[in-house]
């Protein structure tokens, strides 16, 4: 069985983009410099290492590129790298000028375990502004199906090469050189269509003001368009500065995300490594059907596949990649503020449009003093503001039951007053007692029986009252239940919080709702009194308040039953957004939550909530999640309307998630148990 603790067992690949120190036209020095970094990569179990364009000769040496003495030494240096690679784990991708059939090519050499796997010529040669590569080189365009002899080996040569591992680390990668990424249709585009997940670019790329930003834009956007990882390495210290300068920019991107970038203008050699998520890329390509359409329309380019074997290292390799604890809540403060602004306005716009389209006058909402109803009430008031209607058109009701606490009731009433909506209270206990008596429930005889019937009688009555109030007032019921509750089935089907006329929170996870409320409280758009009430709501234990607490005991806690929302939102995201197998979700969760000091926390997470979870806890709550998620699909198959909020997706049967109501969790539970037994 693969080692659970190893990143290579879970579809990750460690890639390094390197900038060695150079010396003008000194291939022997260049080979040593490359091998010094290769040794570092070997020590870190890097799978693929990328080096700059023409790294074995130097780039900015002009007509020295046409000197046989130099070209002979380049081949010798290439042979030295091939020989030294026998004892190195990584695949090495290095740049060299090579002669073939009386012509000179700017090439990338792919080397692994004592073998030269192939040579890829640069397709597009710039001959504008400071560049005049056509003076020395022949374009690689049209070079397909050939071979080249280098350092005593006859190897594949051409722009039609894909390199594919047949080992226990499955991987397909493609190589292009510098200018190839700057053209309208980079060669790697067709390589991605042909199956390459990792795209590599050896570059020299002199630096001018603003050029580094342009490179990032090109590489990041290309990785997103190709649903691929893209590694880039530019020449650095030691290149000739006769007329140009070099910043040594090395960076790695994945599907639009920047995973790592080296320090620019380094004084010495640099290596930036990142753990790319190959399984994420494969999942994205599989579910993005237009990617497959493009493959069929454009073809796969007739690439040749060069096989090699990359196996997992003998020892487990810990994942170095930062995994966000809260996939719905970015740790970066500026990005979090932007996403809260967007989520908040999506909710407001959705409800405002529904109110305008239906022509109803009132928005009817039940307010408990908890997180979800607080957010929904704020959204309802702002929807009225946007429509130019009085906030009094929002009809907010508190509906206390047998377990409603004084604190939450006070919070609800204070919020209603602070926001200026029309507030009323209906005590549901008399009606609940009558219904329980009609049902012959023991509670009606004075017995303290607090079963699911006892709870759902209260939940159902609250919703029933709201719908009848909406009928009477000519309004619609605004739903409050959130995405996390829908994922866990923590909602009363049909007659309870599962149902509404329009649910503004349906696609908002619990972990994000807290930050949306904080965003409003700190925005300056609400009064200090309102901000104070919002802070009080945020400090309240998450509870359905359906079961009375015994004297001196804590109130009913949702998270003690369904698990910590922090973990369950994590599980929900990776199961529904990416379709990852449970063992992989557990692996990622342990990386995200196993150490309280690892990585950044989003702003305003209270100190008491900054905790770690053990592997046993992660496994336990993941099993709870899987069991509840599959058992409650029937609730998600019958959801009211509500806007999609996050890129993580919604659970609407008309949107991101469509599943049968009678599927079981056994396959997923068995996969988790096989990879991570209880005693592990």
CA–CA gap between residue 452 and residue 432 (Å, rounded): 13
Helix (H) or strand (E) holding 114: none
Selecting among 122, 340, 485, 590, the annotated active-site residue is: 122
590 is catalytic: no
Exactly one of 6, 18, 176, 178 is catalytic; which is it?
A: 178
Answer yes or no: are the C-beta atoms of 633 and 668 closer than 8 Å: no
Query: Which is catalytic among the residues 53, 75, 324, 339?
Result: 53
The separation between the first and the last C-alpha atoms of the chain, rounded to the nearest angstrom, is: 13
The rounded distance, in Å, linking the Cα atoms of 271 and 251 is 10
For the chain, the farthest-separated pair of C-alpha atoms sits apart, in whole angstroms, at 102
SS (H, E, C) 321-386: CCCCCCCCCCCCHHHHHHHHHHHHHHHHHHHHHHHHHHCCCEEEEECCCCHHHHHHHHHHHHHHHH
Angle 32-15-156 from CA coordinates, rounded to 5°: 70
Is 412:540 a contact under the CB 8 Å cutoff?
Answer: no
Is residue 52 within 8 A of residue 95, CB to CB? The reply is yes
Query: Residues 332, 376: contact at Cβ < 8 Å?
Result: no
Residue 467 to residues 366, 367, 422, 474, 649, Cα–Cα distance (Å):
10, 14, 17, 10, 28
Q: What is the dihedral of CA 71, 73, 76, 82, to 10 degrees?
A: -80
Q: Where are the alpha helices (DSSP H) in 549-603?
A: 558-562, 565-576, 582-593
Q: How far apart are the C-alpha atoms of 49 and 110, rounded to whole Å?
A: 10
Contact 115, 308 (CB under 8 A): yes
Tell me how far apart the alpha carbons of residues 73 and 56 are, in angstroms, rounded to a whole number: 9
Report residue 227 as tokens. 């649903």
> Angle at CA 574, nearest 5°, toward 195 and 173?
20
Of 469, 508, 433, 254, give the one whose Cα is nearest residue 361: 469
**Quick one: which of 429, 403, 430, 424 has its CA closest to 412?**
424
Does residue 178 have an active-site annotation?
Answer: yes
* 190 closest CA partner among 232, 141, 253: 141
**Residue 541's CB: how many other CB atoms inside 10 A?**
16
What is the rounded CA–CA span in Å between residue 253 and residue 225?
12
For 264, which DSSP code? S
Separation of alpha carbons 449 and 459, rounded Å = 16
Cα–Cα distance between 47 and 92 in angstroms, integer?
Answer: 9
Instruction: Give the distance, in angstroms, between the CA of residue 258 and the centroid of all CA atoms in the same chain.
Output: 12
Burial class (CB within 10 angstroms; exposed 0-12, middle 13-18, buried 19+) of 543: buried
Q: Which of 82, 71, 104 is nearest to 34 (CA)?
A: 82
What is the Rg, in whole angstroms, of the alpha carbon atoms belonging to the chain? 30
408 near 581, Cβ under 8 Å? no
Q: Is 491 a catalytic residue?
A: no
Query: Which residues carry out catalysis?
Result: 53, 122, 178
């Amino acid at each position: 069985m693969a080692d659970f603790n190893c990143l290579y067992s879970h579809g990750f690949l460690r890639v390094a983009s390197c900038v060695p120190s150079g010396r003008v036209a000194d291939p022997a020095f260049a080979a040593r410099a490359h091998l010094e970094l290769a040794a570092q990569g070997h020590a870190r179990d890097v799978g693929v290492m990328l080096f700059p364009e023409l790294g074995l000769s130097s780039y900015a040496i002009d007509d020295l590129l046409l000197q046989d003495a130099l070209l002979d030494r380049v081949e010798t240096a290439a042979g030295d790298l091939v020989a030294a690679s026998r004892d190195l784990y990584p695949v090495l991708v290095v740049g060299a000028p090579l002669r073939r059939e009386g012509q000179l090519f700017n090439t990338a050499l792919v080397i692994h375990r004592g073998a030269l796997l192939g040579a890829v010529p640069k397709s597009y040669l710039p001959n504008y502004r400071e560049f005049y590569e056509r003076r020395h080189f022949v374009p690689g365009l049209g070079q397909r199906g050939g071979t080249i002899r280098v350092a005593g080996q006859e190897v594949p040569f051409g722009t039609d090469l894909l390199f594919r591992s047949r080992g226990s680390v499955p991987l397909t990668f493609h190589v292009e050189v510098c200018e190839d990424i700057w053209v309208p249709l980079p060669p790697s585009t067709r390589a991605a269509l042909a199956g390459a997940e990792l795209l590599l670019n050896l570059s020299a790329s002199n630096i001018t003001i603003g050029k580094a930003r342009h490179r990032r834009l090109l590489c990041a956007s290309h990785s997103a368009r190709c649903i691929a990882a893209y590694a880039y390495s530019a020449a650095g210290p030691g290149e000739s500065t006769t007329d140009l300068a070099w910043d040594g920019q090395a960076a790695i991107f994945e599907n639009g995300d920047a995973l790592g970038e080296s320090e620019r203008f380094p004084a010495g050699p640099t290596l930036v490594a990142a753990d790319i998520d190959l399984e994420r890329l494969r999942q994205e390509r599989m579910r993005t059907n237009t990617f497959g359409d493009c493959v069929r329309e454009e073809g796969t380019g007739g690439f040749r596949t060069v096989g090699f074997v990359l196996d997992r290292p003998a020892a487990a390799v810990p994942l170095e990649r930062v995994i966000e604890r809260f996939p719905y809540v970015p740790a970066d403060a500026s990005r979090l503020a932007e996403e809260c602004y967007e989520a908040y306005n999506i909710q407001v716009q959705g409800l405002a449009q529904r109110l305008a389209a239906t022509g109803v006058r009132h928005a009817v909402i039940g307010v408990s003093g908890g997180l979800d109803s607080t957010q929904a009430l704020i959204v309802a008031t702002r929807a009225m503001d946007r429509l130019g209607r009085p906030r009094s058109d929002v009809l907010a009701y508190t509906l206390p039951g047998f377990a409603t606490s004084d604190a939450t009731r006070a919070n609800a009433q204070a919020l209603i007053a602070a926001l200026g909506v029309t507030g009323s209270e209906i005590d549901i206990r008399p009606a609940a007692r009558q219904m329980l008596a009609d049902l012959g429930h023991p509670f009606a005889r004075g017995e303290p029986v607090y079963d699911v019937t006892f709870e759902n009688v209260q939940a159902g009555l609250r919703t029933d009252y709201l719908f009848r109030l909406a009928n009477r007032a000519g309004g619609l019921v605004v739903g409050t239940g959130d995405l996390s509750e829908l994922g866990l089935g923590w909602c009363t089907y049909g007659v309870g919080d599962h149902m509404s006329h329009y649910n503004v929170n349906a696609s908002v996870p619990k972990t994000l709702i807290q930050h949306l409320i904080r965003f409003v409280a700190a925005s300056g758009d609400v009064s200090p009194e309102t901000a104070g009430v919002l802070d009080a709501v945020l400090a309240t234990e998450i509870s359905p308040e359906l079961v009375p607490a015994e004297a001196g005991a804590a109130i009913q806690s949702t998270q003690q039953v369904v698990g910590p929302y922090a973990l369950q939102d994590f599980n929900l995201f990776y199961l529904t957004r990416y379709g990852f197998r449970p063992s992989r979700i557990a692996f990622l969760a342990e990386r995200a939550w196993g150490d309280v000091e690892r990585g950044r926390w989003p702003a305003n997470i209270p100190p008491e909530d900054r905790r770690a979870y053990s592997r046993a806890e992660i496994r336990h709550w993941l099993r709870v999640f899987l069991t509840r998620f599959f058992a409650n699909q029937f609730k998600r198959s019958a959801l009211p309307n509500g806007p999609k909020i996050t890129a993580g997706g919604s659970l609407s049967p008309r949107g991101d998630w469509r599943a049968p109501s009678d599927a079981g969790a056994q396959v997923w539970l068995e996969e988790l148990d096989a990879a991570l037994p209880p005693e592990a």
